[in-house]
Amino acid sequence: MRRLLPLLEGHRKPAGWMEQGGLKILGTVGRGYGLIQAGRAKAYQQGLLTQWHADCPVISVGNLTAGGTGKTPMVAWLGRFFLDRGIPLAIVSRGYRQQSRAPITLVSDGKGHILRAPEAADEAVLLAHELADAVVLTGPKRRHLIHYATRHMGCRLILMDDGFQHLQVYRDLDLLLLDAQHPWGNGHILPGGTLRESCHALGRAHAVIFTRAEIGADLTMATAVIHRHAPGMPVAPCHHQPKYWINATDSSTLPLSAMQHQKTLAFCGIAHPESFRTTLEHLLLKPVDLKIFPDHHVYTPSQMEQLETLARTLRATALVTTQKDSVKIPHNATTLPLFVLAIGIHFPYFPPWLEACLDSIATKAK
């Protein structure tokens, strides 16, 4: 899988006739899947299928590709924007890979009660910790989650995480995130690439936000593709920015400079693990090693013990990981210090159109 993923993401070209042939077969399947997705979207557009309207504004944050594009930090940023304005809100998502099979899983009631992973999905648990005063719900049917949040939890705004393909629910704002590094993967639809649907779907979004758009990144070609499919579409860049370190033992925070030049062992189970290494190096913290686990990995006590043993062998003085990983680590799983890097969304400039749109929704939600 580690060899296939870079091929699907467009990081490398197929090597040899076997990979070329395999990719061609997968691409054919992907085109069929894309036609199904396009037909479904057209049915909603023409009114053959009807969207359900919630009792309050709904904002969807989604993507066009499978894998990480930074939806969770964006949802956290939006959540803080509205919570700071006194608007009670709920975050709803499917609950990918969670153990709970309940139709409605209350991950957080917004008053301090938070489920742990893997009973609840890791992104949902992370958001519950990041936004302690927000309600967080997961389940297979977003409509039921939204109904519960508005009727039983007093929520006046809904943030729908990973909702771009969830067309059953009407949304007041549909934000589509694209990874500035590889916005289209290899250009093919699943399973031949990482696209969930074709670029024609760009026209459904209300706005596109490029994530991981480092300062000075050239987005000219990608923006041209967007405007070819959706003329006049508002577009804005943002990037992920480290905020501070969290001491996993007592949840205290430390400035980024506190870990500079420390000898640490890093580990993570995220969609783009090498980005974690790069971030650490930019923070002047070069780990003695980076242990990579599958995306959404749930850590066992024995695995944490192995990580600690390796760290001591390499004479590392601490372990470091991501926020997404931290919610899936057993409590007191290591005697070595464990530090978690907090990441947030940063806009180099706050787009006036986005500010106006969010202010309008905030007014409607009050």
- Domain identity same for 163 and 83: yes
**Helix axis angle, 71-83 to 352-365, nearest 10°:** 60
Q: How does the average pLDDT of the chain come out, rounded?
A: 93
Pairing of strands 58-63, 157-161: parallel
Query: What is the per-residue pLDDT across 227-243, written as a single tens digit (0 to 9) for each?
Result: 999 999 999 999 999 99
pLDDT score for 2 = 57
pLDDT score for 14 = 78
pLDDT score for 253 = 96
> Do 337 and 318 contact (CB within 8 A), yes or no?
yes
**Is the residue at 6 inside a domain?**
no
pTM summary value: 0.93
**Is the residue at 183 inside a domain?**
yes
pLDDT score for 214 = 82
Query: What is the per-residue pLDDT across 157-188, written as a single tens digit (0 to 9) for each?
Result: 999 999 999 999 999 999 999 999 889 988 88
**Is the residue at 145 inside a domain?**
no
**Percent with pLDDT over 70 in the chain:** 98
**Is the residue at 94 inside a domain?**
no
- Domain identity same for 248 and 294: yes
Would the CA dihedral through 337, 295, 289, 180 be positive or negative? negative
- Domain identity same for 274 and 361: no
**Is the residue at 43 inside a domain?**
no
- Domain identity same for 286 and 352: no
What CA–CA distance (Å, rounded) separates 270 from 283? 19
**Is the residue at 73 inside a domain?**
yes
Query: What is the per-residue pLDDT across 334-361, written as a single tens digit (0 to 9) for each?
Result: 999 999 999 999 999 999 999 999 999 9
pLDDT score for 13 = 78
pLDDT score for 3 = 62
- Domain identity same for 209 and 357: yes
Name the nearest CA neighbour of 246 among 136, 315, 327, 134.
327
What's the token pair of residue 57?
Answer: 């504004």
More confident residue, 306 or 13: 306
Would the CA dihedral through 68, 70, 75, 80 be positive or negative? positive
State the average pLDDT over residues 211-216.
83
- Domain identity same for 82 and 208: yes
**Is the residue at 281 inside a domain?**
yes
Query: In which band, very low, low, confident or very high, does the pLDDT at 272 lie, cut at 50, 70 and 90?
Result: confident
CATH number at residue 317: 3.40.50
- Domain identity same for 186 and 234: yes
- Domain identity same for 73 and 187: yes
Which stretch of 20-24, 142-146, 195-199 has the lowest confidence by average pLDDT? 20-24
- Domain identity same for 326 and 359: no
DSSP annotation of 151 reads: H
What's the token pair of residue 27?
Answer: 């691409």
pLDDT score for 201 = 96
Question: What domain range is 334 assigned to?
Answer: 240-345
Residue 20: Cβ-neighbour burial (10 angstroms; 0-12, 13-18, 19+): exposed
Which residue blocks in the chain are alpha helix, DSSP H?
4-9, 16-45, 71-83, 122-130, 142-152, 220-229, 273-282, 301-313, 323-326, 352-365
What's the token pair of residue 66?
Answer: 């499978």
What CA–CA distance (Å, rounded) separates 246 from 293? 21
pLDDT score for 331 = 86
State the average pLDDT over residues 222-226.
96
What does 241-310 look like in DSSP terms, one character per residue? EEEEEEETTT--EE-GGGGTT--EEEEE-SS-HHHHHHHHHHTT---SEEEE--TTPPPPHHHHHHHHHH
- Domain identity same for 166 and 83: yes
Judge whether residue 1 has pLDDT over 60: no
- Domain identity same for 178 and 293: no
What CA–CA distance (Å, rounded) separates 161 from 65? 14
Query: In which band, very low, low, confident or very high, does the pLDDT at 99 lie, cut at 50, 70 and 90?
Result: very high
Query: What is the per-residue pLDDT across 3-55, written as a single tens digit (0 to 9) for each?
Result: 667 777 777 777 778 778 888 888 899 999 999 999 999 999 999 999 999 99
pLDDT score for 173 = 98
- Domain identity same for 82 and 163: yes
Judge whether residue 67 has pLDDT over 90: no
**Is the residue at 332 inside a domain?**
yes
Question: How far, CA to CA in Å, does 204 sit from each of 124, 155, 171, 358?
Answer: 25, 26, 11, 18
Q: How many domains does the chain have?
A: 2
